[in-house]
Structure 1
């Protein structure tokens, strides 16, 4: 767990729909929620907003200025546990060391909120250890799993959570590198050339990059399947594959995503090469 400071009220402009949804859920909060979409900073901000909403005693809550809200903003509140996947893998020891705390009531008269920022950084063992805590709910303890997309989390964790989806960032505008990779992948499916030069250099593909490429292609595929191709990549998909072919791509991407999410020792370059060669 680390310290830091994010002011939810200044970060969440444009995400009012999810703020209102959390407000509506606050009277009977679910034990666990998954926050997906948005940017990394927005996901952390919404997680902290939820902790404020469940513990601030002012009206309307959260006020953002009382001692409780300030402490949550500073990650210094006694009933806030913050696990920062932005700093590296969330390990099983992090979860095991905290399970006894989750077995106790909160220190105050609100809720103990455990936030897992960038929860896709869970190791498999750590995710399964957390799952055991969710299977044995303790009153007053709630959990937040924040990740770019729910599919990057252990499926059984998602199935035990309410999913709150923030407005999606436009990955084509925010990450030109991913756009280059998805374009190259579709180009290889059409021509059989120009792919392995990208993946063969040592260290060219890390696990996070491979996950982002798969997610980016899923986004493009979704537009093509809906008949709303508005980008060069989604247009190429629509022109090059019929509905059966698009559904086959969907299956291949889901299998690749599962491999990247659940296998610790997986080689991300080989996963992307496998995706590339399935459609040639």
Structure 2
């Protein structure tokens, strides 16, 4: 990952946290890869011989190579995290780390925890876990059980693709707003050859996500978001949030997914939500 000024600030916060070490750290925002990079940086900080994530000591090298004995990964990027996955690691939680640092248990894309697995994790967090730290990675904290979030120290990474919308993303958001209102114009736009790339589709989903966040926080959204705020109650806003989550998950899959089809599904679902009775 290219380290930007914003990401350097996040790393600085993590460095300061080493002295207080929250048992559960929740990293939200950013991209899938950025969240994982920051989780590995946290693992290095807590096991580095110099406590600086130097990248050169034996512990840092082993973490980079994925062979450090005290770094455990439950990987929601590969599918659902099941209760057996949590139970398999549970005996370790009551044991001290085998190395000189901390055991770091990373739950990548923790929104993929099935409910039983999330509850099993919660029970583990209620018990003493000497020398063990947990890192939850998720696009947004709202996609995790509130009880998990309440136990976490939350750190938000910068939004992908920068803080504001570029011209291309703004154009797509206007088109989505037009379709949501009138049901016209969208499919001709997504059907043009090469018009929709995965990057564009993610920008559209991100723009909708930022609108939803603005609505829930009482801030002014885009014109597209204003339509949602005016016509959707809280229950349907939650459905819209779930729609965005499904779209983002589809675009994040390692296997090829047609991004135009994902956007068409998002647009159609948004159109229907605006017309669904409360």
State if a TM-score over 0.5 links the two structures. Answer: yes
> What are the within-5 Å matches in structure 2 for residues 228-243 of structure 1?
234-238=222-226, 240=227
- Structure 1 position 226, deviation (Å): 2.5
Name the residue aligned to 1:35. Answer: 27
Confirm or deny: 8 A CA contact 1:83 1:115 kept in the other structure: yes
Confirm or deny: 8 A CA contact 1:113 1:143 kept in the other structure: yes
Deviation string for 1:130-186 (max 9, x for gaps)? 11111223111110011111112222111110101111113866x96x985x65663
Confirm or deny: 8 A CA contact 2:177 2:223 kept in the other structure: no
Match of 2:45 among 53, 56, 61: 53
Name the residue aligned to 2:236. Answer: 252
Gaps of 5+ in 2: 188-201, 246-264
Distance 1:105 1:141 in 2: 7
Q: CA RMSD in A?
A: 3.7
Deviation string for 1:224-258 (max 9, x for gaps)? 7523x5xxxx13444x57xx727x45552235546
**TM-score, normalising length: structure 2:** 0.72
Gaps of 5+ in 1: 1-9, 197-210, 262-267
Tell me if 1:22 matches 2:14: yes
Name the residue aligned to 2:135. Answer: 144
Deviation string for 1:80-102 (max 9, x for gaps)? 00122212221211111111111
**TM-score, normalising length: structure 1:** 0.71
Query: How many residue pairs are counted as aligned between the two chains?
Result: 242
The structure-2 alpha-carbon separation of the partners of 1:29 and 1:188, relative to structure 1 and needing over 3 Å to count, comes to same
> What are the within-5 Å matches in structure 2 for residues 1-280 of structure 1?
11-14=2-5, 15-58=7-50, 61-170=52-161, 180=172, 186-191=177-182, 216-223=207-214, 225-227=218-220, 234-238=222-226, 240=227, 245=230, 248=232, 251-257=235-241, 275-278=273-276
3-state DSSP of counterpart to 2:37: helix
- Structure 1 position 219, deviation (Å): 1.0
Distance 1:217 1:169 in 2: 13
